[in-house]
A and B are shown apart, each in its own frame.
Chain A
Amino acid sequence: MILDIQREELLISELADLLKKDRHVAVGAASPIPGAAALLAKEEAKLLNKRIRVTILHSNKYNNFTDGARELFDCAAQGRIDTFFLGGVQIDGQANINLIGTGEYPKTDKRFPGSFGSALMYFVVPQIILFREEHSPRTLVKKVDFISAPGVSEKEIYRSGGPKFLLTNRALFSFDKYEQKFSLLKIKQEETIENIIELTGFEFNVDKNISKMAYPDENRLSILRDKIAPMVSEFYPEFANRVWGV
């Protein structure tokens, strides 16, 4: 049974656990795993007679917006989005994120797409979950080469939101804005703290209640596979096909 669980399903399950208290979760570009997690949290909330609204930007169906592409940012600035996901080519120990590229700007050594909406969303969405599958010293660095959006701000800057968690394919961290530091909360079953230290380019604390990531139980897996997978295929067909064959 355990062997059947795929890497993506474990990550979806971890993310879904972080969305339980939300009223509205939004999911941006190139994010099939966060998208599936948001829809899973919504389905599970329904069973408890609770309502979570989900906006998947890349979907026409699972979307609450009608006022054009700016509505996401207006909605977020008003505090109407509880959780949003951001990634990064690099993420550093102060939770600065870089979506631009590596090397010296502007003639970067390796140029990536760009900062998208991160420079506003990171400031105004209360729970930003950083999601970067690759856990290595080249992705999790001491200092980013370019700050698309800063992890923390001076206290006179309006900032109602910011980073709360960082999930990789090996570990889950929380972020403390006062200490300006990540803290290791969970590691994958086969993972060790020593190995995480080895693979992380920045220093972090280890939470005193650190635990292993739990596998999703059978109920959750059946919701995910029977109900969520076909939904995901509407907006990320290649992903849904690769992971679930739908």
Chain B
Amino acid sequence: MKPFDELSLQEIVDQVKNGFVLGIPADYSGVPMKFTKELIKRGVKDLKLYCLPLTTIQGDMLIGSGCVSEIEAAAVTLGEFGLAPRFSEAVENGNILIKDSTCPALHAQLQATEKSVPFMPLRGVIGSDIQKHRKDWQIISNPMTSSGVKDEPILLLPATELDILVFHAACSDKNGNIQIGRRRELSTLAHASKKVFVTVEKVLDVDFFDNELSAATCLPALYVDGIAIVKNGAWPCALPGVYNSDNEELKKYSLAAKTKKGFEEYMRNFL
């Protein structure tokens, strides 16, 4: 038996069902744009995006294409290229449900799932309007007598499990271990997801576990359900350490997406 399942991009796309909670990596951790394009083509509906902790063009495109009903994030932005126009308009019009969060809370909710505990405490946040609007968050008094400040109000966040995570990475080894470098938040996402699929630029004929450096910077195949080789799979986003973002394309998108009509024209070309 082969050490891992090599899939086509279409086979990965087919794993995403309407209504799924989809894990979304930040712009610095390998955005699976080719996958996103195929997902939009398929016309997936009612996705709930869980961003760790933010999304850029990937989330904006999915929202603009009508694939999303709910998004949990600390920010949706096109970074240097300004606001995420399809996101902003969808929120202003009430077309999607936004669960506004803050970066450490998004991490902590997945960390709770990693540990298989029902919740995770977090300091800060209390007294913000973020907290006031999150009915799924609770404040308790610190019950511990040996740590922290007795009876200090502390925020509890529910464990969140993702239905599916897809990200793009530079490479896997011959056994399906994925090189993620310092982007350890990809481990957090993977540990908290029922299914994990990865698109990679290439598969190397080595074993990452033969070497301390590569072993420490990979996501073990244990957590991965399938891999597809997709060249330039993050374009126009960057793949850290491999290629930079295509800033002209991102700028072009940011200008086109300012209006619904401009976005639709852009997407006709893009798809």
Contacts and interface: CB of A to CB of B under 8 A. Distances in A.
A106 B133 contact: yes
Given A67-B184, A147-B127, A153-B127, A116 B107 contact: no
Nearest to B71: A114
B83 A117 contact: no
Of B79, B89, B240, most buried by chain A (CB within 10 Å of CB) is: B79
A149 B124 CA distance: 9
A190 interface: no
A114 B100 contact: yes
B113 to A, nearest CB: 14
A110 B183 CA distance: 33
B204 interface: no
B75 interface: yes
Interface string B111-138: 1000000000011111111110100000
Interface residues of A, number: 49
A123 B124 contact: yes
Nearest to A66: B182
Given A66-B184, A112-B83, A119 B53 contact: no
B26 interface: yes
A29 interface: yes
Interface in A76-115: 77, 99-101, 105-115
B105 interface: yes
B146 interface: no
Nearest to B85: A111
A150 interface: yes
What bracket does the count of chain B residues touching chain A fall in?
35 or more
Nearest to A123: B124
B92 A115 contact: no
B256 to A, nearest CB: 19
B125 A105 contact: no
Of B53, B123, B129, most buried by chain A (CB within 10 Å of CB) is: B129
Interface SS of chain A: loop
B214 interface: no
Contact of B94 (A60, A107, A110): A107
Interface stretch (A16-24, A154-162, A195-203, A212-220): A154-162
Nearest to B51: A114
B103 interface: yes
A117 B53 contact: yes
Contacts of A153: 126-127
A97 B103 CA distance: 16
B102 A116 contact: yes
Interface in A189-238: 236, 238
Nearest to B95: A107
Interface in B9-63: 26, 28-29, 52-54
A48 interface: no
A150 B91 contact: no
Given A67-B184, A114-B75, A122-B124, A147 B129 contact: yes
Interface in B180-229: 182-188
6 contacts: A30-B77, A107-B92, A114-B54, A117-B74, A150-B127, A154-B127
Interface of B: 26, 28-29, 52-54, 73-77, 79-80, 83-84, 87-89, 91-94, 98, 100-105, 107, 111, 122-131, 133, 148-149, 151-154, 182-188, 240-241, 247
- Closest A-B pairs by Cβ, 10 of them: A68-B184, A114-B75, A123-B124, A113-B77, A120-B124, A73-B104, A119-B102, A117-B103, A68-B185, A70-B107
Given A70-B107, A116-B103, 11 more contacts: A29-B77, A60-B240, A69-B183, A106-B94, A110-B88, A111-B87, A114-B74, A115-B75, A119-B130, A153-B126, A156-B151
